[in-house]
Amino acid sequence: FLHWISVGILGVLMLNVIGLMVAFGASFFKHAGYVLDLFVVTSALVLEVFFEADTAGLLIILNLWRIVRVAHGIFEVTDEAWENEIEDMKERIEGAEERFNRECGARDRRIQQLEAQL
């Protein structure tokens, strides 16, 4: 039963890789991570389906790569979001500094005018 669950999961992962191949076309093979995923999932599926030997250790190692890839993807997305937020904050700070400088300049001119009138 567990063997067929493992084969089913690998089948879903293989469908994911095939979907990426269809979506990206030839550029799929230009991305080393996708090609490595293709190799890992295909190898794990072949070992699981065609070899009766105990390949659990190798399958675990091969499938750990998938976990590393997902974690890396999450890190990149999170990192990009943080960078965007930092850029937004920098723009807000620059805008606030510009408004502050304009207001200070206007107040300085007004003070000079009032001092001239005295």
Distance CA 21, CA 23 (A): 6
8 Å CB contact between 78 and 86 = no
pLDDT digits (tens, 9 = 90+) for 24-51: 888 889 888 788 888 888 887 887 777 7
Residue 46: closest CA among 7, 9, 8, 98? 7
Q: Residue 17 corresponds to which tokens in the numbers above?
A: 């890789």
Number of separate domains in the chain: 1
Residue 41: closest CA among 62, 20, 68? 62
pLDDT digits (tens, 9 = 90+) for 61-101: 666 777 777 777 777 777 777 888 899 999 999 999 999 99
pTM: 0.48
- Residue spans of alpha helices (H) in 25-55: 32-50
Per the structure, the complete domain to which residue 43 belongs is given by: 1-116
